[in-house]
Chain A
Amino acid sequence: MSTSTQTHHSSHRAEGHFQWGQLIRESFLRLGPRSLARNPVMAVVGIGTFVCALYTGLAAARGESIAFALAVTLVLLATVLFANGAEALAESRGKAHAGSLRATRGQLRARKLQRDGSEAMVAADTLRRGDRVRVVAGELIPADGEIVEGAGSINESAVTGESAPVLREAGTDNSGVSAGTKLLSDELVIEVSVDPGESLLDRMIALVEGASRQKTPSELALSVLLATLTLVFLIVVVTLVPMAAFVGIVPSTIMLVALLVCLIPTTIGGLLPAIGIAGMERAMRANLVAKSGKAVEIAGSIDTLLLDKTGTITLGDRHATEFAPCEKVAIGRLRDVAYLCSLDDPTPEGRSIVTLARDQGATSTLDKRAEFIPFSASTRLSGVNLPDGTQLRKGAPNAIATFIQTHGGNVPTTYQRLVERVSREGATPLAVAEGGRLLGVIALSDVIKPGIAERFAQLREMGVKTVMITGDNPITAAAIAAEAGVDDYVAEATPERKLEIIREEQASGRLVAMMGDGTNDAPALAQADLGLAMNSGTQAAREAGNMVDLDSDPGKLLRAVEIGKQLLITRGALTTFSLANDVAKYFVILPALFATSIPALEVLDVLDLHSPESAVLAAVIFNALIIPALIPFALHGVRFKATSATGLLRRNLLVYGLGGLLLPFPAIKLLDVMIAGLF
């Protein structure tokens, strides 16, 4: 068993982990026919390169000038290499993340529990689903699985990059553990939940590996479209030969290949795999592991988000915000009793009561002989017993009412109204009693996460509906929903109700996303179009969802939607750009092809280029260089602003459509001027 200290905290987050040498080697390795055949657009460029090389060779053998043919051949070769390089670069970034984890795990040894109860040391990669292993403090968890015995705190930084330890416990909704994370305390028995090659890590790597990667549905459809356009241009160029011959022109093969390569959508064709891989990698960088690329893509189309209130919309803990005394009770008395009740209460809520009371001037001290009564599930109360026998208690309003009655006190008639008033304001009422006397209510408010209202406003702008799910009563839920600015809420929600809501939304045609961790969330996670399971959750939840969040951060759904949208927009924008480019290229290449024979066509040469050779070369160079120039867009995604669909469409059409139409004119002119001396 490895006991080495962990060294790889968040180093995988650093960018630019590739080496130039390796990148160039990868680009050349992918020139093979099998590799090219996966991408019809690039396959055509590959064949074109081969044809040009052949012509160059023939011309050289005949002793003719080969400078132009050789230059075109080399530029076409560069076009393919750039596309290969883009894919390799995206892949290397993705693997840099997952690869370091895999390396560590490869050396892990596991303490496997045999049937007879004995233990045997085995290599971690031999563990199979259903095996049980024992892990003790200081060791690394050898495989993904679920805790079946014990509880312990775990450092998950190897997976999440977050170094604060987290608690994982058998039989709770936080029983899931990941391979490569470190147990800091206690001892666990873990049931392995995956066979070799199926772990989260293996999935991450499969998503970013060009050769084995599965294309996502819209990527597949786009590929069909790009292949069709490639065929259209192949027809255009091939049929041009007899038509040109009919009017007495014999265009050079090199020129025709150049025309073909310039027209087919090489830009998007070359960058498409990189865009897909980079999308997965962006998800991974956000610590979201998709079970398939499809899940990432679906995230972009989500119409409805089901969000758990706690942790997503509000900070997990409630804070005391107000002391509301009953009639004829001094607020100071309520404050002091609440303070005394909470001094020894270790919960965040208890501490917040102490803080609020101190802020409002509470100074009482507790007699050392006072006895703290911790919260118990049977009484649903906590508090202190003072040495004089007085019982100070705080707890749920119903529980306190019962407590008062058993101590011979009266519940004031205004009490119910007080409780309702606090609820309506979005707070949870916590009642306080001193012996048989009801003092009043502490308002425990949910603290809405800072900035969350703006996020929801953005989502609404983007047309995504947000539904808050909470176990709170309807009055509290309504108040919080209004404050956070969600579109809808479901109070007193049960897992079954979640499932119902998902089905209702889906029946009206919407795509629904939800996040969950518990076993009883599993059916809803499976039903949702995007089921995001927390990595800390139970095995059932993690299996039901189609994406896992390693951070177990309930706010992650929003990020998933953004990543999905950005992936799709990048594809659409670069497709538009690529096609718009063609118009300019026609104005460059058609005069170059025909103007020598038909002088009148020179007026089409709007850029007034130096010579047919320099014009064609400038066009293919532009065509090649635009690929590496757009790699940053492919890898990081195009800029994405949360706005309405129509606003997005207008902006992207202007930037990538109109931009794509205009940019090539000055760029090709510039290239032509630069190479004018040579050709």
Chain B
Amino acid sequence: MNEVILCHALVIGLALPLGLYMARSLNDDRKAPLDGLFRPFESMLYRLAGIDAQRTMTWQAYAWAVLKLHLLLVLLAWGVFMAQGLLPLNPDGVAGMPWDTALHTAVSFATNTNQQHYSGQAQLSYLSQTFAIVTLQFVTPATGLAVLLAIARVLLSKASVARFSETAVQPVGVGNYYRDLVRTLLRVMLPVATVVALLLAWQGVPSTYQGAQTLQPLDSAVTESQVIPRGPVASMVAIKQLGTNGGGWYGPNSSVPLENPTPLSNVIESVSLLLFPVALLVAVGVMTGRRRLMTGIGAVMLAFSLASTAAMIVSEKMPNAAFEGLAAAGSPNMEGKEVRFGPEMSALWASWTTQTSNGSVNAMHDSFNPLGGAVTLMDMFVNVTFGGIGVGLIGYLLYLMLAAFVGSLMIGRAPELLGKPLETREIRWISLAILAQPLVILGLTALAVALPGLAGNSNPAFHGLSQVLYEYTSAFANNGSGFEGLGDDTPWWNLTCVIALLVGRFLPMLAPLAVAAWLAGKRTAPAGRGSLDMDSGAFVGLTASVIVIINLLGFLPVLVLGPVAEQLTFGF
């Protein structure tokens, strides 16, 4: 338990200074820290790519720039994965991927999901890992953050009020995607990832371009030699943890000693899960001047997070019903967990990795008690408990808009958000983003269980349903973890997950951008006694209730049929 508390303290202690640094580095002021160091690199990159980084984009242009870059990256990565057998940096001679696995992998990494229907160390070359995968692991969280910057700029920033009310008729500029992306990458992501990579290498995570090592086991009775895959692992694990990515070098992710060797590395990796999502709250609060709003949001997220972690720890300290009659009966559920980490640190990781849409694991979620499994699912349904970098807060804003709609009515004002009228057009897009989640997750789950021949779903009953549900929930939430009992490397799973990945990534990210830009072009009523106070306890409570109710109402029946029925039927 001390380690769990230490991790919380470290996250808060590190997120504050990091958030302040991000606020000063990413805002639109002329000067930022370390300009002398970063400016030349930025100018060079802009020149190389032929980008006018000063040009302000409309929301459509911004969204199109995001989609264009991601389409390009998906196509490149897809090609690299299929052709890796013919390409350099392949000391272990890994063959090319089948087209559907390659497509799923490319889309999965381009959506910050890192859902893996393959086993990393065996099916990807060093080129694929370091260039295709790691590039996407940097670009995608930076994109989430960039879109958040754009939304904060026009919707939240107090300074923007004066700026935009005069030019209400013109389309509102939301910023420049390439500038936001490059600055986030160079000034924030790369430096922090470098520090974490060095720490992990120090703890013993491999960091080399040499091929797998062949060793003779100590047990002389074993005749065959052991092949130990390695590579530039530390650098990838750093951004995997920091960038809410989750896709590990090795198939079993951070439960493998090579990816997570020591208790200290486990703490570093755990803290890295939550570091950026929490620091972003500080950064946005400082940049926009809405510290109290961000404090309220942070409080709700923290409450959800603590409730989830507590439930997870309780669940995993309970025995596993399958151990009944065995020697291990009565002890905490250690099935699928590393003895090195124990139930608490495994539970903390599982809780944080599903809250932040990270998806890396240090224990097997499939083997958790059903209650613990239900908690991971609920974390992913909500998906705004800190959430993915940028997109977590964007998702929260979506719920905030809904709460503002209902809250405004309840105080007798036509619906408005921060003084800007919420009208039918905005509500339509917010509704679409809300509707997409049950449509995709429940729709695909129902299809998969209804067509066992197509889906090839091998597992029966409650847990079988949970596995299917987890797979699509993880894809839509851009989490990437899995109930790995599912045999998911088939065209059905690859292609249906691609749909969930794309809809789950871009609709909840870009719909709020559009809404923010429309709102920014409208009049802003000054805040007063008669307007909705979004900092008030009542409104914070309303937003939390909206999040709980929307997710509970949508997903309670399937949770009851899956993990709840399993837990109640089999007990602990």
A interface residues with partner B (beta carbon < 8 Å): 217-218, 220-222, 224-225, 227-228, 231-233, 235-236, 238-249, 263, 297-298, 300-301, 303, 460-465, 506-511, 564-566, 568-569, 571-573, 575-576, 579-580, 582-583, 586, 590, 594, 598, 600-601, 603-604, 640, 644-646, 648-650, 652-653, 656-657
Contact = CB atoms under 8 A, between A and B. Distances in A.
B435 interface: yes
Interface stretch (B144-152, B338-346, B531-539): B531-539
B427 interface: yes
A217 B561 contact: no
Interface residues of B, number: 67
A649 B410 contact: yes
B211 interface: no
Interface string B411-427: 11111100100111011
Contacts of B445: 239, 243
Contacts of A575: 406, 409
Given A228-B435, A649-B410, A650-B536, 15 more contacts: A222-B427, A224-B424, A225-B405, A225-B431, A232-B434, A239-B443, A243-B449, A300-B412, A460-B529, A506-B523, A509-B165, A582-B553, A645-B530, A646-B539, A649-B538
B561 A247 contact: yes
B560 interface: yes
B462 interface: yes
Interface in B520-557: 523-526, 528-533, 536, 538-539, 541-542, 545, 549, 552-554, 556-557
B355 to A, nearest CB: 23
Interface stretch (B88-96, B97-105, B476-484, B562-570): B562-570
List 6 tightest A-B contacts by C-beta distance, closest first: A463-B530, A572-B409, A565-B412, A463-B529, A600-B568, A239-B446
B139 to A, nearest CB: 32
A603 B427 CA distance: 38
B461 A247 contact: yes
B115 interface: no
Given A228-B431, A600-B565, A297 B412 contact: no
Contacts of B199: none
Contacts of B447: 242
A640 B438 CA distance: 37
B435 to A, nearest CB: 5
- Interface hub of A238, A245, A510 (most chain B Cβ within 10 A): A510
A242 B449 contact: yes
A185 B171 CA distance: 60
Which of B410, B427, B432 is packed against the most chain A CB atoms within 10 Å? B410
Interface of B: 165, 402, 405-416, 419, 422-424, 426-428, 431-432, 434-435, 438-439, 442-443, 445-447, 449-450, 461-462, 464-465, 523-526, 528-533, 536, 538-539, 541-542, 545, 549, 552-554, 556-558, 560-561, 564-565, 568-569
Interface SS majority for chain B: helix
Given A247-B565, A509-B523, A603-B568, A242 B450 contact: yes
A243 B560 CA distance: 11
A604 B560 contact: yes
Nearest to B437: A232
B525 A645 contact: no
Contacts of B432: 228
A470 to B, nearest CB: 24
Contacts of A603: 568
A229 to B, nearest CB: 8
Contacts of A566: 412
Contacts of A579: 549, 553
17 contacts: A217-B424, A222-B409, A222-B427, A238-B446, A240-B557, A246-B461, A247-B465, A249-B561, A303-B526, A460-B529, A509-B524, A569-B409, A569-B411, A572-B407, A590-B557, A598-B565, A657-B545
B414 A462 contact: no
B413 A300 contact: yes
A646 B419 CA distance: 15
A583 B556 CA distance: 10
Contacts of B545: 657
Contacts of A242: 446-447, 449-450
A303 B528 contact: yes
Contacts of A221: 405, 415, 422-424, 426-427
B191 to A, nearest CB: 41
Given A463-B531, A598-B569, A571 B561 contact: no
Contacts of B426: 221
Grouping DSSP codes into helix (H, G, I), strand (E, B) and loop, the A interface class, with mixed when no group exceeds half, is helix
A594 B561 contact: yes
A284 B532 CA distance: 28
Contacts of B465: 243, 246-247
Contact of B435 (A217, A231, A249, A598): A231
Contact of A645 (B532, B561, B564): B532
A653 B410 contact: yes
A259 to B, nearest CB: 8
Nearest to A652: B410
A245 B172 CA distance: 51
B413 A301 contact: yes
A645 B450 contact: no
A568 B412 CA distance: 5
Nearest to A459: B530
Nearest to A565: B412
B553 A232 contact: yes
Given A231-B435, A232-B434, A652-B410, A243 B565 contact: no
Contacts of A510: 525-526
Contacts of A586: 552-553, 556-557
Given A224-B424, A301-B413, A565-B412, A508 B526 contact: yes
Contacts of B549: 579-580, 582-583
B531 A645 contact: yes
Contacts of B415: 218, 221
B427 to A, nearest CB: 4
Contact of A601 (B422, B529, B568): B568
Contacts of A460: 529
Contacts of B405: 221-222, 225
A232 B410 contact: no
Contacts of B414: 217-218, 297-298, 300-301, 568
Interface-central residue, B432, B446, B523, by most chain A CB under 10 Å: B446
Contacts of B449: 242-243, 245-246
